[in-house]
Structure 1
């Protein structure tokens, strides 16, 4: 007896469309969190925190949608790869929203508790460059999910290498900057935490890109240095 796939393609397309919407939204929220850090402008912190709570609820809804697809159909192996990848994507987006929240809360802490008015320009420029590369990674992935096509592996590899190298440069700047310019030990530790959140978000999306390739081609690849 043939597997029941009635309407499965349409449901998978709907799940992909939802993931694209979630990717676009996390790009917007992450940009707000980065702005709060590089400028120490905490005006949008509450919006980022609320977005993280909303993202958690949406992640639960997406998981329910995926389970519904499984219960209504008998997906074949290729379908299962795509379904598990979309589930991975929902988790990756939720983690990115969590990291964005952490970055914004660090910005709030630096302003309210540490009392610094700005971070060194060299560091803020590096953080912005790292964030720009991350945004490009998410954009490339969103386009691929929207079109149902492979990602630009060369572009993603270059962006991930940039993120990794800039992350190391940020650590050097934070370590060598005088305490009075960076909020002493508390400021230094929190800035280390913030840049590590950005790096981890990039890593998670690069891993998702590998899963996406596997869903389409049934082969595993390694993108950049992981």
Structure 2
């Protein structure tokens, strides 16, 4: 018999809020990159507006977590679950901020033609989104191995980021008139690299939550 049914129901609610927030963050990143590929100002503006949903999730998760800590006196293992949820929510909020930054770049470039079709940037985005899903799956399944495997995918994103930087910097030297747009595209790639880093951070949080030990996956 569960001695604290209210406590465990609250933990279930906390996990649901966190996963819903994760889904919303994924959608924002995907929509932001799609808006860039089409230079769709309206779609980019919607990404910016939808960031408010992420902030609402963060507020609810903060409040629920603090109530659990203040009223339920959680044991050490439960406290790790709650503190990890707070950390994951912060990473998700920052991921959403990166999506908004990409959307703002789309708005700045609206009305222009892209120097060249986007190729590597969408690849970076897809891997970063997959990493985010993997990190959330590792959270729900308490799967340390799946969380640890994020490091390899993060390396792939870092390599693609290096390729994009080399390519765009090379184009800058060929035609100075395109430097403004190329600089913005560099910033997009940087934002996606940071999304992948935050997904990896979530994996680190999962490892700590399950094992009580900290492991750096961003090496």
Deviation at 1:37, TM superposition (A): 1.9
Native 8 Å contact 1:33 1:101 kept in 2: yes
Distance in 2, matches of 1:119 and 1:177, equals 9
Residues 153 and 60 of structure 1, relative CA distance in 2, 3 Å threshold = closer
Native 8 Å contact 2:172 2:182 kept in 1: no
Residues 13 and 102 of structure 1, relative CA distance in 2, 3 Å threshold = same
Partner of 1:220: 214
Native 8 Å contact 1:23 1:93 kept in 2: yes
Deviation at 1:166, TM superposition (A): 0.5
Deviation at 1:152, TM superposition (A): 1.0
Residue segments in structure 2 that go unaligned for 5+ positions in a row:
none
Partner of 1:184: 178
Partner of 1:165: 159
Deviation at 1:38, TM superposition (A): 2.7
Distance in 1, matches of 2:59 and 2:74, equals 21
Q: Is structure 2 residue 202 aligned with structure 1 residue 203? A: no
Deviation at 1:179, TM superposition (A): 6.8
Partner of 1:90: 89
Residue segments in structure 1 that go unaligned for 5+ positions in a row:
none
Native 8 Å contact 1:17 1:146 kept in 2: no
The count of residues paired between Structure 1 and Structure 2 equals 217
Distance in 1, matches of 2:79 and 2:176, equals 49
Native 8 Å contact 1:182 1:188 kept in 2: no
Partner of 2:53: 54
Residues 46 and 34 of structure 1, relative CA distance in 2, 3 Å threshold = same
Query: Deviation digits for residues 146-197 of structure 1, max 9, x if unmatched?
Result: 3343351464122111111011111111101147879633222222221111
Distance in 2, matches of 1:203 and 1:177, equals 27
Residues 12 and 148 of structure 1, relative CA distance in 2, 3 Å threshold = farther
Distance in 1, matches of 2:106 and 2:157, equals 20
SS at match of 1:118: coil
Distance in 2, matches of 1:186 and 1:132, equals 25
Native 8 Å contact 2:80 2:209 kept in 1: yes
Partner of 1:133: 127
Native 8 Å contact 2:172 2:179 kept in 1: no
Partner of 1:11: 10
Deviation at 1:145, TM superposition (A): 2.5
Deviation at 1:56, TM superposition (A): 1.5
What is the CA RMSD across the aligned residues, in angstroms? Answer: 2.1
Distance in 2, matches of 1:137 and 1:195, equals 16
Residues 37 and 82 of structure 1, relative CA distance in 2, 3 Å threshold = same
Q: Is structure 2 residue 77 aligned with structure 1 residue 78? A: yes
Partner of 1:120: 116
Distance in 1, matches of 2:71 and 2:95, equals 30
Native 8 Å contact 1:34 1:103 kept in 2: yes
